[in-house]
């Protein structure tokens, strides 16, 4: 049985998770830069509006399975019989909610003029809801098999990139873009499911015991749906109140932000099963040590990334989106702090509160923040369009951070969130971001400016961490040195 509790495998999982995140960052950057130049803000907004609208139903279909399923599999993985029954129950529950969500989507399709007016595009994206029924990445995350997740996703990312470059040549090909996106995700899900059923057995009557998951999963699902406000509903509201062009500008501004957030949050997906396992085993000292390191690493990454995005917003927009997207620059400036805020809230919510059976607390925080987000969007979009949506996101995420920090106090961490480590990363990142901005001013080429300025800022930042004897930085150096010596000496 898969135990996955040795330190080497855990460190490899972190590496695989980081590589997986880099994969999810690199390929979307290439495809987005290519598609944005062909489609322009209006068609890009149309695609993103439809995708975000459909994604809300997709989220309802998944019922927080990526989060809840990974935790339950992590708790059951040391007993094959329990693992088989847990997988069978969760898979059956996911299939039921997928069918129900697809049915509701169909009803909305019948009565929504907006959907019927763009029926082909909605139909294509709607197919992704059905393929959610065989999405089982939560199973491999619970087993901490990030290597399989990485290689499977790499294959379909390369395939979709090749198809986009080969088939998308003009604005008339926007339906092809949607079809390739759905095809790649569907193929990824099907291959994952086929691999999963080789490791576990699905019971003959798995629906008999799914009731035991409904309470906790329902609460976790409410948290996920509320949190999705930040991801999808902003574009939907923006599309209704301000039009497709504003959605396109907002998408252009927040794409690099969201990709950066994914990099910082890659720790969450890799570490959360281990947090759950430590909690379940009562190994609190290891739990606390891992939590402290995780938060330090989130600060170390998110502070400079947010600063670089703020300093380089104009050249990044020009490089990724091309002409016609200049109005997205202020939106990106407003949105840059989301990298830090979302890294912090995901640490609190998914690494501290949720693994400790804190579904109700997570639901409370996300619901209040979602209400703030919706209310501010409705108030700000009519006057400020995409900039109003960015401001609403910042305000809602600040609300979430405050609530979660308050709720996390009783989870036995034994350390504070804002200390000298926090101040060190803040000060060094501010100085490094200033260097990035100044260097970028003197270079004409956007690509070269981004490359050289980020290199200069990062060299300063890393040297600052080493000179101030930052424990996390020196631990990373030690691990890298140990790995280098091992490669040099070869297998013993």
CA distance 298 to 401: 14
More confident residue, 80 or 437: 437
Among 257, 258, 269, 255, smallest CA distance to 347 is for: 269
Mean pLDDT, the chain, integer:
82
CA distance 128 to 181: 9
More confident residue, 229 or 8: 229
Query: 466 lies in a domain?
Result: no
Among 454, 467, 441, smallest CA distance to 304 is for: 454
The two tokens of residue 74 are 């992590």
More confident residue, 105 or 145: 105
Q: Which residue in the block uniquely carries the two structure tokens 């000298």? A: 420
Q: Are 315 and 329 in contact (CB under 8 A)?
A: no
Query: 93 lies in a domain?
Result: yes
The two tokens of residue 135 are 């999405």
Average pLDDT over residues 437-464: 93
Q: 370-391 b/e with 16+ CB inside 10 Å = b?
A: bebbbebbeebbeebbbbbbbb
**Is the model's pLDDT at 31 over the cut of 80?**
yes
CA distance 200 to 366: 34
Binned at pLDDT 50, 70 and 90, residue 86 comes out as confident
Query: 15 lies in a domain?
Result: yes
Per-residue confidence (pLDDT) for residue 239, from 0 to 100: 84
Distance spanning both ends of the chain, measured CA to CA: 27
CA distance 162 to 143: 31
Rg (CA), the chain: 22
Binned at pLDDT 50, 70 and 90, residue 6 comes out as very low
14-18 long-range contacts (CB < 8 A, ≥24 apart) are 14/267, 14/270, 14/271, 16/146, 16/147, 16/149, 16/150, 16/270, 17/146, 17/266, 17/267, 17/269, 17/270, 18/263, 18/266, 18/270
Per-residue confidence (pLDDT) for residue 281, from 0 to 100: 67
449-454 long-range contacts (CB < 8 A, ≥24 apart) are 449/312, 449/315, 450/312, 450/315, 450/316, 450/319, 453/311, 453/312, 454/308, 454/312
Among 347, 344, 396, smallest CA distance to 369 is for: 396
- Cα 170 to Cα 40, 98, 175, 199, 471, distances in angstroms: 11, 34, 11, 44, 52
For the beta carbon of residue 158, count every other beta carbon within 10 angstroms.
13
Q: Are 32 and 41 in contact (CB under 8 A)?
A: no
Count how many domains the chain has.
1
Q: What are phi and psi of 470, to 5 degrees?
A: -65, 125
CA distance 91 to 242: 39
Among 44, 30, 7, smallest CA distance to 328 is for: 44
Binned at pLDDT 50, 70 and 90, residue 45 comes out as confident
Binned at pLDDT 50, 70 and 90, residue 451 comes out as very high
253-256 long-range contacts (CB < 8 A, ≥24 apart) are 253/317, 253/328, 253/329, 253/331, 253/332, 253/335, 253/386, 253/390, 254/331, 254/332, 254/335, 254/338, 254/390, 255/28, 255/32, 255/320, 256/29, 256/309, 256/316, 256/320, 256/332
Query: 461 lies in a domain?
Result: no
Per-residue confidence (pLDDT) for residue 391, from 0 to 100: 94
CA distance 16 to 321: 29
Query: 450 lies in a domain?
Result: no
| SS3 state of residue 16 | helix
For the beta carbon of residue 346, count every other beta carbon within 10 angstroms.
23
Torsion 342-344-347-348 (CA) sign: negative
By CB neighbour count within 10 A (0-12 exposed, 13-18 middle, 19+ buried), where does 301 fall?
buried
Q: Which residue in the block uniquely carries the two structure tokens 């079809």? A: 179
Domain that holds residue 107: 7-417
Query: 100 lies in a domain?
Result: yes
pLDDT in tens, 388-443: 999 999 999 999 889 988 887 776 666 667 778 888 999 999 999 999 999 999 99
The two tokens of residue 428 are 């060094």
Query: 22 lies in a domain?
Result: yes
**Is the model's pLDDT at 109 over the cut of 70?**
yes
Binned at pLDDT 50, 70 and 90, residue 265 comes out as confident
Per-residue confidence (pLDDT) for residue 310, from 0 to 100: 94
CA distance 381 to 383: 5
Identify the weakest region by mean pLDDT among 77-86, 196-205, 226-235, 286-295: 226-235
Query: 427 lies in a domain?
Result: no
Per-residue confidence (pLDDT) for residue 455, from 0 to 100: 95
DSSP element (H, E) containing 445: none
**Is the model's pLDDT at 57 over the cut of 80?**
yes
DSSP element (H, E) containing 361: helix 359-407
Q: Are 200 and 82 in contact (CB under 8 A)?
A: no
Per-residue confidence (pLDDT) for residue 394, from 0 to 100: 94
Residue 21 C-beta-side C-alpha neighbours within 13 Å: 19
CB neighbours of 318 closer than 8 A, spacing ≥ 6? Answer: 325, 326, 446
CA distance 314 to 446: 9
More confident residue, 231 or 96: 96
pLDDT in tens, 280-295: 666 767 777 777 877 8
């Amino acid at each position: 049985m898969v135990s996955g509790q040795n330190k080497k495998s855990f460190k490899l999982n972190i590496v695989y998770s980081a590589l997986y995140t880099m994969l999810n960052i690199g390929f979307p950057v290439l495809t987005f830069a290519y598609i944005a130049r062909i489609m322009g803000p209006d068609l890009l907004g149309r695609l993103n509006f439809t995708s975000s609208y459909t994604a809300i139903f997709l989220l309802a279909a998944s019922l927080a399975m990526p989060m809840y399923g990974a935790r339950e599999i992590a708790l059951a993985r040391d007993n094959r019989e329990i693992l088989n029954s847990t997988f069978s129950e969760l898979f059956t529950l996911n299939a039921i909610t997928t069918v129900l969500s697809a049915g509701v989507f169909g009803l909305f399709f019948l009565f929504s003029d907006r959907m019927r007016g763009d029926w082909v595009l909605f139909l294509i994206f709607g197919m992704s809801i059905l393929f959610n029924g065989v999405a089982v990445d939560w199973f491999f995350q619970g087993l901490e098999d990030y290597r399989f997740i990485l290689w499977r996703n790499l294959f379909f990312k390369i395939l979709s990139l090749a198809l986009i470059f080969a088939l998308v040549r003009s604005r008339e090909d926007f339906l092809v873009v949607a079809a390739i996106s759905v095809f790649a995700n569907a193929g990824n899900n099907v291959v994952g499911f086929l691999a999963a059923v080789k490791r576990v057995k699905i019971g003959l009557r798995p629906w008999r015991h799914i009731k035991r998951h409904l309470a906790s999963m329902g609460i976790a699902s409410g948290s996920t749906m509320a949190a999705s406000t930040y991801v999808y509903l902003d574009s939907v509201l923006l599309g209704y109140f301000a039009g497709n062009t504003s959605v396109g500008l907002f998408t252009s501004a927040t794409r690099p932000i969201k990709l950066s957030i994914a990099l910082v949050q890659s720790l969450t997906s890799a570490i959360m099963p281990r947090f759950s396992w430590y909690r379940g085993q009562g190994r609190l000292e290891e739990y606390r040590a891992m939590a402290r390191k995780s938060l330090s690493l989130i600060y170390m990454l998110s502070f400079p990334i947010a600063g670089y995005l703020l300093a380089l917003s104009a050249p990044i927009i020009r490089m990724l989106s091309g002409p016609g997207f200049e109005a997205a620059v202020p939106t990106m400036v407003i949105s840059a702090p989301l990298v830090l805020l979302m890294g912090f809230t995901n640490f609190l919510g998914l690494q501290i509160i949720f693994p400790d059976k804190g579904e109700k607390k997570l639901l409370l925080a996300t619901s209040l923040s979602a209400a703030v987000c919706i209310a501010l969007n409705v108030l700000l979009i009519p006057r400020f369009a995409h900039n109003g949506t960015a401001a609403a996101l910042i305000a809602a995420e600040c609300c979430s951070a405050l609530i979660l920090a308050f709720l996390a106090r009783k989870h036995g961490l034994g350390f504070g969130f804002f200390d000298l480590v926090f101040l060190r990363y803040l000060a060094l990142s501010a100085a490094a971001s200033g260097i990035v901005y100044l260097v970028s001013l003197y270079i004409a080429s956007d690509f070269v400016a981004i490359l050289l300025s980020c290199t200069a800022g990062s060299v300063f930042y890393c040297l600052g961490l080493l000179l101030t004897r930052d424990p996390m930085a020196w631990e990373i150096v030690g691990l890298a040195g140990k790995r280098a010596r091992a490669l040099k000496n070869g297998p013993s």
